[in-house]
Structures are given as structure tokens and as C-alpha cells.
Amino acid sequence: MSGALVQLALAKLGGTQTKLAQKLDVSAAQISKWKNGEHMSEEMEKKLRALAKIGNYSPEFVVAAGSVENATKWQEFMLVCADYAQCGNDTGYDGCDVLDNYDDPSTLAADTFAVLQEMGVVIPAEIPAVDKKAKELVSEDDEDLPIFQLIFSLYHAYGALQGFMAASDVSELIDKTVEAIGGIGSEPFMFLNCELLWLAATKVEPDPSLLKSEVCFNVFRNAQVEKFRATLSELKAAAFTQGLPLKAELLDMVEDDTESLSVSAEGESLFNESTRQLHPDIYMNELLLGMREIRTALPLILAKLKIKIEPEPL
């Protein structure tokens, strides 16, 4: 963050590193260190943010967007994409979309840009215009744009993953596992939900026109698949060691596509307590208990009605 923040502050100040150093009352050497990525204090970050006038935006996001104005336009566009994806949520669970899980729109925009850049996506120079009041694209033709389809698909996949996690109680499993092992070595589990957008990116098929190269995207996808497969396998092993039951195969989050994840979540939601229906295991158990009661009561009913059933000959 520090390097991008220094870059923006220098651009806004229109001066040299020496001038910026004087403004902040630090040495020019310190500016160079920050520019090369050295950590800076929270107080100094606030001063540089004020100089750069970027508000709450991620410095990397602003640099990638080209300006604060462009960052604002991209954020508005991404919120529209997220709204469209939310309307298409078919997992049967509420609160599973990016709009529900990202409290700060600027964080969602920054993470989305970070994912797109790692995928090897070339950010279009032209930003589709949106109607902020109606929360929709100004031009219906923009729905056919590759960048809209890509970000929409990314958010749709994110919602499917969150729906699967809700149906399978993955977040609760993570909490119990982390508590059981005392937090040591559990960092990948704790940050799993925060990095879910990167896993969602492995389930999209970008238009080739958006990519620097398909090879770059495939390298990204393979790396993310292996990372999440390893993390989820470790979570399964840790849960097993602690005697914590798994409600679903966690590796389905990596192996299944968006549609399959949505179907799995929707199927579970039809029998979930939140919908006041029964889980299949409970439903089957009640059927068996009911059949036993009928088997016990039927002879008494027949006897009262003086009905005698002759046994069939062998």
C-alpha cells in the first residue's frame, strides 16, 4: 500500500520526493523506503491519504483505475454488477452475496480490481455508465459487454460459494476448528471467507478479448485451485482430528462449478430448519417411526373391527 500511496501523493503534490519529505517532516530517504514498500505508521498513512485526496479508496485501486474519479465510476459499475448478481441468487439462502458480505463498497471494488489484475484482465479504458438511483446500467447494450459479464459471473460464483458454505455450516465448522486447535496454524481457515472472491474467480470464463493471455489466466486459476484445495484439505483433517462432523464434502467448493454449488445449496435449503422444513435424515427417521406406530396399532384396530386376516400359505 505504501508505494502506491506515495505515488499518488507525489502526483497530487506535483513535486519531488524532497518536497514531499519536507511536507511530512521526514527525510527523502524515508520517502524512498515507503515508495519501495516499507511499512508506514497509521498516522503517516492518514497524512498521505489527505495529501493524495483518495478518501477511503485503496491506493492500489486508484492507481489501477487511473484516478479517484475513475475509481468512483468503477465502484458504481461494480455495485450495479453486484445488484444484478444478487437478483439472480438461486441458492435459497439470504445474506450470501457480495453486497451482504462487503460492508464497505470501496473494499469490494479494490478486491475486485485486485482479482481481475491477478487473472490477467486488461481493464477497459471506457467505464460503462450507470444510473445510481435506479441501480442499473444506463445502456442495456452494456449488459452484453465482456467486462460486465465477467464481473457479474464473478459475483454470481461468490454468491454460490457463500450459499454452499451456509448450507454446509462451513463458517461454524471453521470457528469450532479454530477454537479447538487454539488458533495455532489456523490462519488459512480464518481468512478463507475473506479470500472467497479469488476462489470465485476460478469458476468464471473470461472473454479472451479481456485477457493479456489465456496462459496467464490458466496459471492464476491453477494456483488458486491448488491453494484452496490444500486449505480445505487441511480444514477437513483438523476437523476430523477434533471429532467435528462435516455436513458436506468441502472440496466441492473447489471442484464444482457455480451451477452445481447453487443446486447443492438450494437442495439443502428446501429441508433446512430456517424454512421450517425437515432435514432429509430427520424426515426419514420420522417416516420410520410412523411406520412402526402403524405396525403396532394396526392389529388392535383389526381386532376391534373383528377382522381376521388369515396368514398366506407358505
Quick: pLDDT tens for 130-180: 988 888 888 877 778 999 999 999 999 999 999 999 999 898 888 888 888
| Backbone phi and psi for residue 215, each to the nearest 5 degrees, phi listed first | -60, -45
Among 53, 73, 89, residue at a domain's last position:
53
Q: Are residues 47 and 64 in the same domain?
A: no
| pLDDT for res 278 | 43
Q: Are residues 94 and 193 in the same domain?
A: yes
| pLDDT for res 218 | 96
| pLDDT for res 279 | 47
Q: Are residues 42 and 139 in the same domain?
A: no
Q: Are residues 22 and 102 in the same domain?
A: no
Q: Are residues 108 and 68 in the same domain?
A: yes
Instruction: Give the span between the Cα atoms of 41 and 114, in whole angstroms.
Output: 23
Among 269, 294, 309, residue at a domain's last position:
269
Among 16, 35, 53, residue at a domain's last position:
53
Q: Are residues 24 and 70 in the same domain?
A: no
Q: What is the 3-state secondary structure (H, E, C) of the chain?
A: CHHHHHHHHHHHHCCCHHHHHHHHCCCHHHHHHHHCCCCCCHHHHHHHHHHHCCCCCCHHHHHHHCCHHHHHHHHHHHHHHHHHHHHCCCCCCCCCCHHHHCCCHHHHHHHHHHHHHHHCECCCCCCCCEECCCCEECCHHHHHCHHHHHHHHHHHHHHHHHHHHHHHCHHHHHHHHHHHHCCCCCHHHHCCHHHHHHHHHHHCCCCHHHECCHHHHHHHHHHHHHHHHHHHHHHHHHHHHCCCCCCCCCCHHHHCCHHHHHHHHHHHHCCCHHHCCCCHHHHHHHHHHHHHHHHHHHHHHHHHCCCCCCCCCC
Q: What is the pTM of this model?
A: 0.81
- Does residue 307 form part of some domain? no
| pLDDT for res 113 | 96
Q: Are residues 48 and 67 in the same domain?
A: no
Q: Are residues 153 and 19 in the same domain?
A: no
Q: Are residues 112 and 133 in the same domain?
A: yes
- Does residue 295 form part of some domain? no
| pLDDT for res 313 | 62
Q: Which domain holds residue 152?
A: 58-269
Instruction: Give the span between the Cα atoms of 296 and 139, in whole angstroms.
Output: 69
The count of residues in the chain is: 314
Q: Are residues 236 and 115 in the same domain?
A: yes
Q: Are residues 18 and 139 in the same domain?
A: no
| pLDDT for res 295 | 79
The answer to whether the CB of 146 falls within 8 A of the CB of 209 is: yes
- Does residue 171 form part of some domain? yes
Instruction: Give the span between the Cα atoms of 20 and 97, in whole angstroms.
Output: 42
| pLDDT for res 95 | 84
| pLDDT for res 271 | 66
| pLDDT for res 276 | 39
**Ranges in the chain, pLDDT < 70:** 1, 183-185, 271-287, 310-314
- Does residue 2 form part of some domain? yes
Q: Are residues 170 and 256 in the same domain?
A: yes
* Cα distance between the two ends of the chain: 85
- Does residue 90 form part of some domain? yes
- Does residue 79 form part of some domain? yes
The total of structural domains in the chain comes to: 2
- Does residue 286 form part of some domain? no
